Chain A
Amino acid sequence: GIQVEQSPPDLILQEGANSTLRCNFSDSVNNLQWFHQNPWGQLINLFYIPSGTKQNGRLSATTVATERYSLLYISSSQTTDSGVYFCAVSGGYNKLIFGAGTRLAVHP
């Protein structure tokens, strides 16, 4: 099956800093999503982005499907951005496979 690798595994930032999270995947995908799991465990869908670039406020994402990677950019980070960021992909229908996540801590 498809392998999903996320880097870095852990990231510590000072409030206001920018960061880039990476997701590599081992095969062609038709579905790629980024999620944020907050410290209370709630999973929030950030982007559905199998290809191209999207932006939502301070967050943006780019997927280069031909090179099998996706990037999540967080600008001007805030303490509320803390949590775990997951990349999930599917090469077929309805079977999202999750990476192990990037754990982000933003300090004031």
Chain B
Amino acid sequence: NAGVTQTPKFQVLKTGQSMTLQCAQDMNHNSMYWYRQDPGMGLRLIYYSASEGTTDKGEVPNGYNVSRLNKREFSLRLESAAPSQTSVYFCASSEAAAGNNYGYTFGSGTRLTVV
């Protein structure tokens, strides 16, 4: 009963390097999300995927790309990391269908530092 699993848990990148954050859920949820949380702040939506095969931009999509690989997996890619992308990244999933929204389940987060 893993829920939402994120890898890696910690990462340090140099400016300009690329990396992919992985997220997988085992709850058969339709929708998945990527958020970032900066110190002392709430979470901001980067990208989301309402269902397999679809992705949409959230509040802060610049500098990121996503892939909904299948129903279980939703990855976040930083093509050229910048210090401003230093943050904690959370993946979440929910059982959402047209007209209905349900509670989110979050992963444990990835703490990313860009130097």
A residues at B contact (CB < 8 Å): 1, 4, 30-31, 33, 35, 41-45, 47-48, 50, 86, 88, 90, 93-101
Query: In this assembly, does B74 line the interface, its C-beta being within 8 Å of a C-beta of chain A?
Result: no
Known: A41-B108, A93-B98. A99 touches B90 (CB 8 A): no
What is the number of contacts between chain A and chain B, taking CB atoms within 8 Å? Answer: 63
Q: Are B101 and A93 in contact (CB under 8 A)?
A: yes
Kindly state the separation between the CA atoms of A94 and B58 in the bound complex, as whole angstroms: 10
A–B pairs, 10, beta carbons within 8 Å: A41-B109, A86-B43, A88-B43, A93-B96, A94-B31, A94-B48, A95-B45, A96-B104, A97-B59, A98-B35
Cα A77 to Cα B105 with chains together (Å): 24
What chain A residues lie within 8 Å of B42 (beta carbons)? Answer: 4, 86, 88, 98-101
Bound complex: CA A69 to CA B96 (Å): 23
17 more A-B residue pairs beyond the given contacts A43-B90, A93-B96, A97-B45, with a C-beta to C-beta distance below 8 A: A33-B103, A33-B104, A42-B106, A42-B108, A45-B103, A45-B105, A47-B103, A50-B101, A86-B43, A88-B104, A96-B33, A96-B104, A97-B59, A98-B44, A99-B42, A100-B41, A101-B41
Contacts of A86 in B (CB 8 A): 42-43
